[in-house]
Amino acid sequence: MTDVTSTSAPADRADEAGPVCVLCHHLPAAPATLHQVNGVLVYLRWNREQGPFCRDCGTTLFRDATARSLSRGSWHLLSPVLVPLVLARNLAARRAVTALADPRPHPVLAAPNHRPLVPGRPVMRRPTSWLAPLLLAVLVSLAPLVAGPGVRYDRVGGCVRKSTPLGMYDAIRFVSCADVHDARIAAVVTSWTECRGFDEYVAEGGHFYCLTTEPDPTPAQPD
């Protein structure tokens, strides 16, 4: 990347009527807007820097805003949409400023101490640009392993909770026997006739669940 100020380009009087870089007052400059997204879960902050910018200032802002969006915007719940949107907009802005000639000071507006910004390292040569997305991808891929296959209670050892106050089993729930429940699953069979030796049964999803009613854990109070 060619950076810093170059004074080798010949002055082009036609440029002086065009836009001037808002940061360093150098010519030529192009209208461009650089976006930056920061976010964690639902918290979102969207910043933008609006030009015109000269080539070096625009390139600097592009690299900084894009790298920060990759590292700080990847943690938002909508980052799969937001970050690519920022990248697309910033790349369009970069195309506008990189097409410009070397910046030279405006003969009237630029003070002697005005200098274009110095572009830092390219976006993907900054570790933070790819570490955050990479770490996020690893965490997402490991999440099912950490969470496990999930515990199911629709089997022997699980329990049943009546879902209606009337005690109807028309929409039962399978729950952990450590939670409030009404009956324990003693067997899972394919025909209700196989549940004859149990207290009751319930049909769900093409299976019959033979149930043993749990004794009331509340001891009877003496009269």
Instruction: Kindly list the residues in this chain that would bind Zn ion in the complex (CB under 5 A).
Output: 21, 23-24, 26, 54, 57, 116
Q: Cα(53)–Cα(117) distance, rounded to whole angstroms?
A: 10
Q: Which residues contact 95 (CB under 8 A, 6 or more apart)?
A: none
Which spans in the chain are helix H? Answer: 55-72, 79-98, 127-147
Shortest spacing between CB 37 and Zn ion, in angstroms: 23
For residues 118 and 138, which CB has a smaller minimum distance to Zn ion in the complex?
Answer: 118
Shortest spacing between CB 128 and Zn ion, in angstroms: 25
Q: How far apart are the first and last CA of the chain?
A: 93
For residues 59 and 66, which CB has a smaller minimum distance to Zn ion in the complex?
Answer: 59
For residues 23 and 86, which CB has a smaller minimum distance to Zn ion in the complex?
Answer: 23
Shortest spacing between CB 115 and Zn ion, in angstroms: 8
Distance of CA 188 to the CA centre of its chain: 42
For residues 55 and 126, which CB has a smaller minimum distance to Zn ion in the complex?
Answer: 55
CA-angle at 221, arms to 215 and 223, nearest 5°: 135
Shortest spacing between CB 53 and Zn ion, in angstroms: 6
